[in-house]
A and B are shown apart, each in its own frame.
Chain A
Amino acid sequence: DGGITQSPKYLFRKEGQNVTLSCEQNLNHDAMYWYRQDPGQGLRLIYYSQIVNDFQKGDIAEGYSVSREKKESFPLTVTSAQKNPTAFYLCASSIGGNSWDEQFFGPGTRLTVL
Chain B
Amino acid sequence: KQEVTQIPAALSVPEGENLVLNCSFTDSAIYNLQWFRQDPGKGLTSLLLIQSSQREQTSGRLNASLDKSSGRSTLYIAASQPGDSATYLCAVYKFYFGSGTKLNVKP
Which residues of A approach B to under 8 Å, CB–CB? 4, 6, 33, 35, 40-45, 48, 58, 88, 90, 92, 94, 98-108, 110
Within the assembled complex, what's the spacing in Å between the Cα atoms of A113 and B41?
A: 17
Hey, which chain B residues are within 8 Å of A108, CB to CB?
41-43
- By a CB distance below 8 angstroms, the chain B residues around A44 are 97
A6-B43, A42-B97, A43-B91 known; 12 new pairs, CB 8 Å cut-off, are: A4-B43, A35-B97, A40-B9, A40-B99, A58-B95, A92-B44, A99-B31, A99-B32, A99-B94, A103-B34, A103-B94, A108-B43
User: Which residues of chain B from 72 to 99 have any CB-CB distance to chain A below 8 Å in the complex?
Assistant: 89, 91, 93-95, 97-99
- When distances are taken between beta carbons in the complex, the residues of chain A under 8 Å from B36 are 105
Q: Are B51 and A106 in contact (CB under 8 A)?
A: no
Question: B41 contacts A94, CB within 8 Å?
Answer: no
Cβ–Cβ contact B91 & A103, under 8 A: yes
Q: How far is the CB of A86 from chain B (nearest CB, A)?
A: 15
Q: Which of B31, B49, B99 is close to A41, meaning CB atoms less than 8 Å apart?
A: B99
**Contact flags (1/0) for B19-51 with A, using CB distance below 8 Å?**
000000000000110101000011111100101
